[in-house]
Amino acid sequence: MIANPRKATSPLIILFIGILAVSAASLLIRFAQREAPSLVIAAFRMTIAALLVAPFCMKTFINEIKAASGSTRFLLGLSGLFLAFHFASWITSLEYTSVASSVVLVTTAPLWVALLSPIFLNEKITRWILFGLAISLLGSIVVGISSACSIQTGKWACENMSELFHGRALLGNALALAGAFLSAGYLMVGRKVRDKVSLSTYIFAVYSTSAMVLLLLVCINGEKLTGYSPQTYLWLLGLALIPQIIGHSAFNWALKYLSAAYVSIALLGEPIGTVILTMIFLRESPSALELVGGGLILLGILVATRSQRTKQVVG
């Protein structure tokens, strides 16, 4: 729901910028994974992000936290926990299961947001949100299985599909699904608490909490934080700057004006941006299935946007 009709266009633009920013995540993670373990990448992403925003957020954060209620503080911490374990579970899932399986499962997050928002946020899910969700989820599934399937001579041809949910991949699939639940929790808690605190207080509280949790997990897992090449640290810095500070902060800002369900659907546009970036930087052309899936995702987002425009007119 849009809180102020005069700000109706702005949240959609900021959300679009956020989608472009987070689209760089997969590319930067791919580069960083040449040396660094997944959990270390997640920890560096959040730690660097928290340190970079600290000088700009600390004064406001201290003042607002002092005045905040216990429930608000709890929600800020909870959001940070959800984000930390989302990254930990989703990125780790890629070590156990295929990218296709992980993408299909982790992109079910909007489904859980749509199902749980009426209960926890008292937000009515309109038919346009549901239509857009269905179309976008279908597109995400198509993009997800594109690595295992292709269109050959007008027919579907899928290889190794039986391996997507078999044997060792079972743990990876469970982690990816857990990542979807945690992402849904992160978005819903953010929607609930963003009316109570400023953006600077919210992102610093969430990013710093997430960073501390991930660093603890790195220590428990016995991973090292040093000894990587300067180039790897450069990729980690880029991951913190672009997808996290620009991308996630844009989403968190938009959550004050747009429903959690709509924001979660818009996030499904990330694979489209990722495909475009891989074309530019890795010279990898999208497959026919990726193009079809991307078109469905865009259509679903446009359908869901109709709901937001309707709320603007009604006001």
207 compared with 259, residue with greater pLDDT: 207
Question: Measured on CA atoms in the order 168, 102, 99, 209, is the torsion positive or negative?
Answer: negative
In the structure encoding, which two tokens stand for residue 105, read together? 């499962």
Q: What is the pLDDT of residue 167?
A: 52
Under 8 Å between Cβ of 275 and 294: yes
Which residues, in sequence order, are CB contacts of 160 under 8 Å at separation 6+? 98, 148
- Residue 1: the pLDDT is 40
pLDDT of res. 155? 57
CA separation, residue 254 to residues 163, 196, 249, 313 (Å): 38, 14, 9, 18
Read off the amino acid at residue 265: I
Q: Is 61 helix (H, G, I), strand (E, B) or coil?
A: helix
Q: Residues near 133 by Cβ (< 8 Å), separated by ≥ 6?
A: 110, 111, 114, 261, 265, 300, 304
Q: What is the mean pLDDT of residues 155-177?
A: 64
Distance of CA 77 to the CA centre of its chain: 18
37-84 pLDDT, tens per residue?
Answer: 989 999 999 999 999 999 999 999 999 999 999 999 999 999 999 999
Tell me the pLDDT of the chain averaged across its residues.
Answer: 80
pTM of the shown model: 0.78
CA-CA-CA-CA dihedral for 140, 143, 149, 151, to nearest 10: 110
CB 33 within 8 A of CB 236: no
How far is it, in rounded angstroms, from Cα 304 to Cα 135? Answer: 10
